[in-house]
Structure 1
Amino acid sequence: MVSGKRLAIMQPYFLPHLGYFQLIAAVDKLVIYDDVNFINAGWINRNRILLNGAPHMFTVPLQAASQNKLIHEIGLAQDDRWRDKTLRTIALHYKKAPRYLEVMPMLERIFKYPVTRLDTFILHSLEEVMRYVGLRTVIQPSSQIYGNRELRGQARILDICKIEGAQVYVNTPGGRDLYDCETFKANGIQLKFLGSKPIVYDQKQGEFFGSLSVIDVLMFNDLQAIQKMLGNMNFIMPEI
């Protein structure tokens, strides 16, 4: 059992895979790391859905995106036609999914949300999905608070944990090489990594494709099944 306030820090991803929401479900507060450099060809503004029985990338077009800019400085493309185009693609290929009629109105609210900044657009999308699946984790964009951008890497993570009064910092398994357990322990913070069993569900086709956008999970699973998936995880102690 993990006791104490649990905190996670992640860059904002648009309609990310289920593991992102499992992390949200595992903590009391998620800090959206939106004042770090944008990553070209990353997962911040794109993800994958099923298209003709195979993974297909969809992208949120951006205006003057650059790795020299911070995420919250990036704007959406001025031409809004991509919003309806992406919605039509989703509708065409998921219209026979069992939860299509329930999920599509939420996706329309997400894609048609009338903002021009990428960070605000992504934050709203995360909040919409969280509300749909019943997650009440608090979300805090890092650009609005903390004032510690001069710090880097682990030092900044620790400082945010202290400001938030967190006793536990939770990260994905991919962060094992980024953080030192003893340093966290010396600062009075437990370092934990989130583990989960492989999740497979019926995509109404032969071969299963995992790690798709949460859109796919929402389309093929009812709320009870999704909530069970969100709880299908455990905390892994780092190796010392």
Structure 2
Amino acid sequence: MTVGIMQPYFMPYIGYFQLIKSVDKYVVYDDVNYIKGGWVSRNNLLINGEKQMFTIVLKGASPNKLFNEIEIGDDFKKLMKTLHMNYSKSSNFEETMALMEKIISFPNKQLPLFIANSFREILGYLSIDTEIIMSSNIQKDNTLKGKDKVLNICNILGADTYYNAIGGQELYSKKEFKEHNITLSFIETIIQPYAQMHNTNFVPGLSIIDVLMNNSKQNVNLLLDSFVLR
């Protein structure tokens, strides 16, 4: 049983989805404190051929609140207009826009639930069967912090393997996880260029939206499999 755990991010970069695809159960960490200044509500797209940031509006965002105490406050009109203006000639524009319409029309605006639904929509579109779980639905010891809480969740879910994004190398020790009979590995993306509208030089590290706009379902899955475990 392979498990991954991460805070909720809206339409994050490809590495986030590589993590989701590579595990059996993916936990949306919704009952920890919101991260101000992070990538929860923003990412990058190609706008007028250049890498530029988009941001969605949140209601009540504060580092003093848990993720599940914050709501989506965006009507997504600006984002959808931006996509129309900059991606209308992309090879997979129609399918991706239909997917985005389903994502933004989700009625529950609680931030983690809204984002978890976006993950399920994308996974369904790509025929990926990873189970999405909300951490607040797991009966765990909420007095624990950091790696101890992660280990507690892994044990409850019966994990023998835990995958984390490559940045987690500074936070987690393979030795400590091994002491709990869990193998810890870090996913490092192998960048695979793909054709992007208006660009002869590939721009990496954009939102998954850019990946979906410019690739077939089959190609997206190939890109999601392009990583190494450290």
- Whether the TM-score (by the shorter chain) exceeds 0.5 is yes
Q: Is the 8 A contact 1:115 1:121 kept in 2?
A: yes
Structure 1 match to 2:20: 24
Structure 1 match to 2:72: 76
Structure 1 match to 2:55: 59
1:234 Cα deviation after fit: 2.7
Residue 121 (structure 1) aligned to one of 114, 120, 124 = 114
Structure 2 match to 1:92: 85
Q: Is the 8 A contact 2:140 2:153 kept in 1?
A: no
Question: What is the one-letter code of the residue matched to 1:211?
Answer: G
1:124 Cα deviation after fit: 1.0
1:195 Cα deviation after fit: 2.5
Structure 2 runs not aligned, ≥5 long: none
Mapping 1:1-240, distance limit 5 Å: 5-77=1-73, 82-204=75-197, 205-236=199-230
Question: What is the one-letter code of the residue matched to 1:191?
Answer: L
Question: What is the one-letter code of the residue matched to 2:18?
Answer: Q
| Identical columns (%) | 41
Count of aligned pairs between the two proteins: 229
Question: What is the one-letter code of the residue matched to 2:195?
Answer: D
User: Aligned partners of 1:55, 1:234: CA distance in 2, in Å?
Assistant: 26
SS in 2 for 1:57: strand
Query: TM-score if structure 1 supplies the norm length?
Result: 0.91
SS in 1 for 2:91: coil
Detail structure 1 runs of 4+ shifted over 4 Å in the superposition: none
Structure 1 runs not aligned, ≥5 long: none
1:173 Cα deviation after fit: 1.2
SS in 1 for 2:170: coil
RMSD after superposition: 1.2
Q: Is the 8 A contact 1:83 1:112 kept in 2?
A: no
**1:16-46 deviation digits (Å, cap 9, x = unpaired):** 1111111111111111111111112211111
**1:119-147 deviation digits (Å, cap 9, x = unpaired):** 11111111111111121100111011133
